Amino acid sequence: MTDPAALSRVLLGWYDRHARALPWRVPPGDDRRPDPYRIWLSEVMLQQTTVAAVKDYFHKFTTRWPTVGALAAADDADVMAAWAGLGYYARARNLLKCARVVTDDHDGRFPEDVAGLRALPGIGPYTSAAIAAIAFDRAETVVDGNVERVVARLHDIHTPLPAAKPELTAHAADLTPNERPGDHAQAMMDLGATICTPRNPACGICPWREPCMARARGTAALLPRKTPKKPKPVRHGHLYVGRVPEDGWLLETRPAQGLLGGMLGFPGTDWTESPAQPTPPLPGAWQQLPGEVRHTFTHFHLRLTIWVADLDAAAADTAAEGTAGLHIAPKLSPAALPTVMRKAYDLAAPVWSQRSRDPLAD
């Protein structure tokens, strides 16, 4: 059974019985069409992100912004704050750009073809095919990490990624049916997520256990091969958590480009491999906290020294005006911070709650 049509038929049969229930999914057999806005939003959130991590954010976004038009009208800072903690913040910036293009230039409706979708901010080869297939039932081929793994095993392909990508894509395209292409795409990803997993694949209950070449040769768990990744260097920096009476905080909105771009955070030094000199963002009685904040990004480990100070409101306000993005916020919701900044908050905040219990402490 290596006929692609037969393979897809078997896969769809499995999907009809085992499709995962997901907040953005219309179950197989349900005649309703998915809402393209919800499919787009979920696919962007799911880029390099687990279903478990996405669920609460998806609910929060669709409740607060039920339509693409509502999202397009949102304030940038509100969307960035709502995305805080999910990571890859360029996605949130592009999400807003895309919502505004769709609203302003496409009459509030998403393009239904891959080319039109692909032209939108934050929508690449994977996401354009996913939206076209799932939301509009186009016979497009979706290739994500799951599909790469499933196809590499089905055909026992040992070429390492990313060099193997074209070959894997060709095989995936061969499997794509003209009937129910959206369900086929989701079935491929469900199979990879629940059966054909990276480690300990459950080959014994796989609907493709018979045709799978890697299972026959005992190589499934070794695939797909990947070129080794470079080690992560350690970077160091200083971060300054300043408080202003009564409930104010010294914060910065980071530049729109680069790491944590557009996100709220505490000011500090650059993060470099050789430890930098402490350099406060403005004058004050800065005190170094014991310990440090450790955080790992995609391509480096970070160790931050945290400094705290009580600042004079008027002086801080004046001084902050001299630096782009720096400002005094009347209050702070830690949930609006990216995780590395929330770690700094968690380390620094007890300093003041301790002082309020014991005013004589200094």
Stretch of residues binding DNA (CB under 7 A), selected from 105-113, 122-130, 212-220, 313-321: 122-130
C-alpha dist (Å) from residue 185 to 42, 82, 235, 335: 15, 29, 40, 34
**Number of helices and strands in the chain (H, E):** 14, 7
CB within 8 A of 360, min separation 6: which ones? none
Q: How far is the CB of 26 from DNA (least distance, A)?
A: 11
Is residue 196 a contact partner of residue 150, using CB atoms and an 8 Å limit?
yes
Report the largest interatomic distance among the alpha carbons of the chain, rounded to a whole angstrom: 80
> 224-253 mask for DNA (x: CB under 7 A)?
--xxxxxxx---------------------
Measured over the CA atoms of residue 276, residue 281, residue 282 and residue 286, the dihedral's sign is: negative
Which of 28, 87, 177, 275 touches DNA by CB under 7 A? Answer: 87
Q: How far is the CB of 285 from DNA (least distance, A)?
A: 29
**130 touching DNA, by CB under 7 A:** yes
**298 touching DNA, by CB under 7 A:** yes
Specify the residue, 150 or 309, whose C-beta has the smaller distance to DNA.
150
- Alpha-carbon gap, residue 83 to 93, rounded angstroms: 10
Angle subtended by helix axes 125-136 and 36-45, to nearest 10: 150
Specify the residue, 25 or 138, whose C-beta has the smaller distance to DNA.
25
Specify the residue, 40 or 307, whose C-beta has the smaller distance to DNA.
40
Q: How far is the CB of 115 from DNA (least distance, A)?
A: 13
- Alpha-carbon gap, residue 71 to 74, rounded angstroms: 5
Half-sphere exposure of 51 (CA within 13 A, CB side): 11
Active site residue 321: no
9-36 b/e (C-beta count within 10 Å ≥ 16 → b): bbbbebbeeebeebebbbebeeeeebbb
Q: How far is the CB of 321 from DNA (least distance, A)?
A: 27
Specify the residue, 102 or 320, whose C-beta has the smaller distance to DNA.
102
Q: What is the CB neighbour count within 10 angstroms for residue 48?
A: 10
**192 touching DNA, by CB under 7 A:** yes
Stretch of residues binding DNA (CB under 7 A), selected from 45-53, 68-76, 203-211, 306-314: 45-53
**286 touching DNA, by CB under 7 A:** no
- Alpha-carbon gap, residue 3 to 139, rounded angstroms: 18
**140 touching DNA, by CB under 7 A:** no
**278 touching DNA, by CB under 7 A:** no
Give the catalytic positions in this structure. Answer: 43
Binding site for DNA (CB under 7 A): 20, 22, 25, 42-43, 46-53, 85-90, 94, 121-128, 130, 144-146, 149, 162-163, 186, 189-190, 192-193, 197-199, 226-232, 258-261, 295-299, 338-340
